[in-house]
Amino acid sequence: MHTHVLFEHPLNEKMRTWLRIEFLVQQMNGNLPVRDHASALHFFRNAGDLLDVLERGEVRTELMKELERQQRKLNQWDDVPGVDRERIGALRQQLKSTGTMLMAAPRIGQLLREDRLIGLVRQRLSIPGGCCSFDLPTLHIWLHSPQAQRDAQVERWLASLEPLMQTLTLILDLIRNSAIFRKQTSLNGFFQDNGDDADLLRLRLALDAQLYPQISGHKSRFAIRFLPLDSENGTVPERLDFELACC
């Protein structure tokens, strides 16, 4: 049984932002509970990066537009014979209630942005070693406070991101499941095709090939070059099979 690695590549700016947000929130959740300096800096660094990403664009507006676009796509299934109407209806309802929740939520990231501790750590992260105890006595004492107290605070920060993450998870699920994987073959490590207005490329590659894809392009056209992980001794086969989904 071959082990396959899944690569995802965004074909527009909004998808690039959404994948980064998904990654950063997964990182924030990935090293809990916060027990020591290492897990604290992992959490705060990702929280700071998330705030940077959120400050760059109109994330809520883009997500609301996408919820509407997905509703329109569902409407096109109405006249298709044999379609699972119950499933379509449930998805429609989910999109509607998610949109209502997102609209009612406070400004995304506001609780994190206004938190004094997150702000202090964020200021020091760009300084090499700038988060040690003499630089950040606030963090030092916070790490000595009871674990339950820290857990409750971290939980509150993460709960404030829930409207964003529920919406994003639903949208990314719909986009990822909008296309099936098809077998493709690259010649001499190169493959290109039309994007057909896609938002996201998903590519499955056998791990034992020890190759990775370098992808460039946008929603109408893209190119993939396969490169060896070992740049000095690795080789790229003349014909390489992989699986691709244009979502």
C-alpha span between 14 and 59 (Å, rounded): 8
Rounded to an integer, the average pLDDT of 129-150 is 94
Residue 167: the pLDDT is: 95
Q: Taking 70 as the threshold, does the pLDDT of residue 154 lie above it?
A: yes
C-alpha span between 40 and 94 (Å, rounded): 35
User: Which pairs count as long-range contacts for 85-91, CB under 8 Å and 24+ apart, including other chains?
Assistant: 91/174
C-alpha span between 17 and 37 (Å, rounded): 28
pLDDT digits (tens, 9 = 90+) for 16-25: 999 999 999 9
Residue 143: the pLDDT is: 96
Q: Are 223 and 192 within 8 A, CB to CB?
A: yes
Residue 33: the pLDDT is: 96
Residue 57: the pLDDT is: 78
Residue 20: the pLDDT is: 97
**For residue 33, is the peptide bond before it cis, meaning its omega torsion is within 30 degrees of 0?**
yes
What pTM does this model have?
A: 0.91
Residue reference for tokens 């990702």: 46
pLDDT digits (tens, 9 = 90+) for 71-129: 998 887 777 777 777 888 888 899 999 999 999 998 999 999 999 999 999 999 999 99
The CATH class of 31-177 is mainly alpha
Domain boundaries, the chain: 31-177, 182-246
Residue 1: the pLDDT is: 62
Q: Which residues contact 142 (CB under 8 A, 6 or more apart)?
A: 40, 117, 150
182-246: CATH number: 2.60.440.10
C-alpha span between 64 and 167 (Å, rounded): 9
Q: Which residues pair with 200 in a beta bridge?
A: 10
Q: Taking 90 as the threshold, does the pLDDT of residue 196 lie above it?
A: no
Quick one: which of 222, 224, 215 has its CA closest to 194? Answer: 222
Q: Are 36 and 239 within 8 A, CB to CB?
A: no
